[in-house]
Structure 1
Amino acid sequence: MNYREVDSTAEYVARLETGADWREEIESLADDVEADAGWFTAIGAVQDAEIWFYDQDDLEYYPVELDEPLEVASCAGNVALLNGERFAHTHAVLSRPDGEAVAGHLNEATVWAGEVHLRVFEEPLEREHDETTDLDLWL
């Protein structure tokens, strides 16, 4: 297990812009506040979404396209540096009008309404390729 203590330097709340991309809005916030590491939670609604499921046998992401309005029942993730750029690793639980939920790695989604809370860490986190999982993981 790889772990470390982190100290928070700041916390921000933000409203995501209607029509923008959900994950890109979080990355934009991280850029604006110069957050090279952090943890976020968010709620709201999206007009469409693409979630990814990672197949542990194939070591590959498979996309699930959702072309419908969805509630963001829960969204959590972290900000870290990936190839020198801020990257928001984002997971979400999205719900349909009947309450059915779909979930996974949120690659993209069009914001209808969104609110995010970002806690910024003092020390940067960096992602590096892990050969076992074929994923970019924290160092």
Structure 2
Amino acid sequence: MEFKKFGSKYVVRLDKGDEILNSITEFCKQTKVSLGNITGIGACDKAVLGVFDCKTQTHIEKEFSGHYEISSLLGNITNLNGEPFVHAHICLSGSDYSTIGGHLHSAVINIIGEIIIDTIDGEVGREFNSSVGAEALKF
């Protein structure tokens, strides 16, 4: 992973073998980024996506293997228990041009990842919201 800062934005390059969420979390620790937006594109070969089941209040996860273009990576950076927390969704397209998407649990870059992190001054935390069964923004 390499990155460069331009004003309030960072341009981040992830390399083959980098896991997206771990890399962004490590980036946040290195740069002290505690609040921001994430956008990105690239390619991956292993991904675990989830869809939140409101009835059971759990993520239903599915693993995908093969070559996928990252058509869209969107997310945010906040804090949970004093640590960077990355919440991201991803859309992947396969060689047959079909797309899959959902909550990103993990994805490993197989060619390159190009990510823009737009930082925001301030800090927003998260806390468990029992009515929805998930970590919600805490202002």
- Structure-1-length-normalised TM-score: 0.90
* CA–CA separation in structure 1 for the residues paired with 2:44 and 2:120: 28
Kept in 2: contact 1:41–1:74 (CA 8 A): yes
The residue aligned with 1:109 is 107
- Partner residue, 1:123: 122
Equivalent residue for 2:15? 17
8 Å contact kept, 1:17–1:25: no
Pick from 8, 28, 39: which aligns with 1:30?
Answer: 28
- Normalised by the size of structure 2, how large is the TM-score? 0.90
Residue equivalent to 1:67: 65
**Which stretch shifts more, 24-33 or 43-52?**
24-33
Q: Secondary structure at the match of 2:27?
A: helix
Q: Which amino acid aligns with 1:45?
A: A
Structure 2 partner of 1:5: none
1:74 positional shift: 0.2
**1:57 counterpart SS class:** coil
Residue identity opposite 2:130 in structure 1:
E
Partner Cα distance (1:111, 1:27) in 2: 15
Shift of 1:82: 1.0
Shift of 1:84: 1.4
Paired residues for 1:32-111 under 5 Å: 32-111=30-109
Q: Which runs of 5+ in 1 are unaligned?
A: 1-8
Same amino acid, percent of matched pairs: 27
State the alpha-carbon separation in 2 of the partners of residues 83 and 101 from structure 1.
Answer: 34
1:90-112 Cα offsets, whole Å, 9 max, x none, are: 10001111111110011001112
* Counterpart in the other structure of 1:135: 134
Q: Greater strand share, 1 or 2?
A: 2
How far is 1:17 from its partner?
A: 2.3
